[in-house]
Chains A and B, each alone.
Chain A
Amino acid sequence: MTAPPETFIVDGDGTVLFKFTGPLVGSDLEQRFAPELNKALGIE
């Protein structure tokens, strides 16, 4: 953790799957965070 906002996706076993630095808005959200979250949730 360096500075907020930072967001981590943690799977059901407590393993960190993905780290996102910066605000969850705009194209970064759509192109980087959302696909990883969908993958973690098993949503295609």
Chain B
Amino acid sequence: MARISPLMLAPPLIFAGLAGLFLVGMLKGDPNSLPSVFIGQPAPPVPEAPLTGRIHLTDDMLRSGEVTVVNFWASWCPPCRAEHPYLLQLQADGVRVAGINFNDTSRSLPTAIWMAPRIRSSPSAMTLRAAPRSTGA
């Protein structure tokens, strides 16, 4: 009977080991539940580039005693469009919603009409870029 070299067993064993590790990693909890380093910390300074004609969200507004939902969005981001109705509803319910635009060009922003209601009715509006721009709501 032919003997199998231990070296021949190494590749499948290594593969099986890695596959096992990946499987454990994939099944280990919800990646969205990973705690953010921001939790419990003061909010970082808000961007200083407001959208033209919009109210500028300021650090003072974030510390005015009112809970604020700060949403990062972009015109090129389909999931942002999907969540937009909920954010509008929140705002209609009286929750302060601030939108911070992320990595949009000044040319593409005006065409982001779908965001217009949020921006228009928001108590604050600004824009963020690479280190975000913000439009508030």
CB within 8 Å of B: which residues of A?
Answer: 1, 3-25, 28-29, 32, 37, 40-41
Number of A-B residue pairs at CB separation under 8 A:
100
Residues of B within 8 A of A23 (CB): 79-80, 82-83
Within the complex, which residue of A12, A16, A22, A41 is in contact with B65, where a contact is CB–CB below 8 Å?
A12
Instruction: Name the contact of A24 in the complex, choosing from B36, B77, B83, B95 (C-beta under 8 A).
Output: B83
Contact A16 B41 (CB under 8 A): yes
Chain B residues with Cβ below 8 Å from A10 are: 43, 62, 67-70
Q: Which residues of B contact A (CB under 8 A)?
A: 32-33, 36, 38-43, 59, 62-74, 77, 79-80, 82-83, 86-87, 90, 95, 102, 132
Determine whether the beta carbon of A24 is less than 8 Å from that of B43. no
Q: Is the CB of A7 within 8 A of B69?
A: yes
Q: Does the CB pair A41–B132 fall under 8 Å?
A: no
CA distance A14 to B83 in the complex (A): 24
Q: Label chain B's interface by main secondary structure.
A: mixed
Contacts of A32 in B (CB 8 A): 32-33
Bound together, the chains give a CA A23 to CA B86 distance in angstroms of 10
B67 touches A25 (CB 8 A): no
Given contacts A4-B80, A8-B70, A19-B36, contact A14 B86 (CB under 8 A): no
Minimum C-beta distance from B30 to chain A (A): 9
B40 contacts which of A12, A16, A20, A28 (Cβ < 8 Å)? A16
Known: A1-B132, A5-B83, A29-B86. A11 touches B67 (CB 8 A): yes
**Residues in chain B near residue A40, CB distance under 8 A:** 67
